[in-house]
Chain A
Amino acid sequence: MSLETAPKLNWWNRIANPGQFVIWTKPLLWPLVILTTALFAAGLYYAFFNSPEDYQMGDTVRIMYVHVPNAWLSQFVYGVMTISALGTLVWRHPMADVSMKAAAPLGALFTALALFTGSLWGRPTWGTFWEWDGRMTSTLVLLFIYLGLIALWRAFDDQLRAARVIAVFTLVGAINIPIIKFSVDWWSTLHQPASVFRPDGPRMPGSILIPLFVMFFAFTFLFLTLHLKAMHTEVKRRRVMGLQRRMAQGGAA
């Protein structure tokens, strides 16, 4: 095929080739690492040295700066997985299943950390490590869903076939998560209502919001960096499996 008749590739099709994807996104990795590190340095500085204690919760408010970003990520990562699942099922985009697989363990860890920091926050403020209230319970259920998905990935031998099946289950989970959240809230209404984003503007003072937002972006970029790296690894792992299969066939022939 000559150069003129070759179809023009837009970026979408170009990253559909796993090799091209790795080549294209590799230069992004170091800037992401530097940005994440800088955000963490700033966030930790604000969290410990440049923010006041809360008039009600005292210094324990500082736990919020690691708790809220992790809780946000626990849902954001599922959102990423849901979009990737749509990409797998609707467009059959080859990078979508890689993204889905790479995101699951990250989401599980962030969810576990959200629960861990939440229970450490709960001990001084509520007087107990674990309270069966709406948010902690639905986060726990979310962790179970993540772990179930990881178990499902491990159970399949053929990763390409696994991707489509797991995409179906990811979407079923995505439809169910709001229902689970609603039912768990109905079951127990004890927690304080959502207080950062409210129609009448944030209720928290700015001195607490700054470290919260810096840490929020720090954790989000941490996820993006690790996700990209894990996707590169997954692409390589698939190439390893493909080569091994071809060699085994060659050896048998």
Chain B
Amino acid sequence: MIGLGPHGVFIIWAYLGVAIGVAGLIGWTLYDARTTAKKLAALEARRNA
């Protein structure tokens, strides 16, 4: 990797922060999707039972 100059810390933190934010968003979206799908499946199974 190239050297990032005297302000490398800021660049790394900026990318790291965005990565954490985006990863959190993706994770939350997937988690939400999974729990909701599970809840829906459970409810439909109970209704059909």
Q: Are B11 and A63 in contact (CB under 8 A)?
A: yes
Q: Are B32 and A233 in contact (CB under 8 A)?
A: yes
Q: Digitize A43-83: 1 where CB-to-B-CB distance is under 8 Å, 0 elsewhere.
A: 00000110001000011101100110010000000000000
Q: How far is the CA of A116 from the CA of B20 in the complex (A)?
A: 12
Q: B19 → chain A, closest Cβ, in Å? A: 9
CB contacts under 8 Å to B, within A196-253, are 222, 226, 229-230, 232-233, 236-237, 239-240, 243-244, 247
A116 and B32 contact, Cβ closer than 8 Å, known pairs A63-B10, A66-B15, A244-B43: no
Q: Digitize A78-101: 1 where CB-to-B-CB distance is under 8 Å, 0 elsewhere.
A: 000000000000000000000000
* Residues on B with beta carbons closer than 8 Å to the beta carbon of A106: 25
For A, the interface residue count at a CB cutoff of 8 angstroms equals: 34
* Residues on A with beta carbons closer than 8 Å to the beta carbon of B15: 66
Q: How far is the CA of A57 from the CA of B48 in the complex (A)?
A: 64
Q: Are B5 and A58 in contact (CB under 8 A)?
A: yes
Q: B10 → chain A, closest Cβ, in Å? A: 5
Interface of A is mostly: helix
A-B contact pairs, 27 of them (CB 8 A): A48-B1, A53-B5, A58-B7, A59-B7, A60-B5, A63-B11, A66-B18, A70-B18, A109-B21, A113-B17, A113-B21, A117-B17, A120-B10, A120-B11, A121-B10, A124-B6, A124-B7, A222-B22, A229-B29, A229-B30, A230-B33, A233-B37, A236-B37, A240-B36, A240-B39, A240-B40, A244-B43
Measured CB to CB, the residues of B under 8 A from A are: 1-8, 10-11, 13-15, 17-18, 21-22, 24-26, 29-30, 32-33, 36-37, 39-40, 43-44, 46-47
Measured CB to CB, the residues of A under 8 A from B are: 48-49, 53, 58-60, 62-63, 66-67, 70, 106, 109, 112-113, 116-117, 120-121, 123-124, 222, 226, 229-230, 232-233, 236-237, 239-240, 243-244, 247
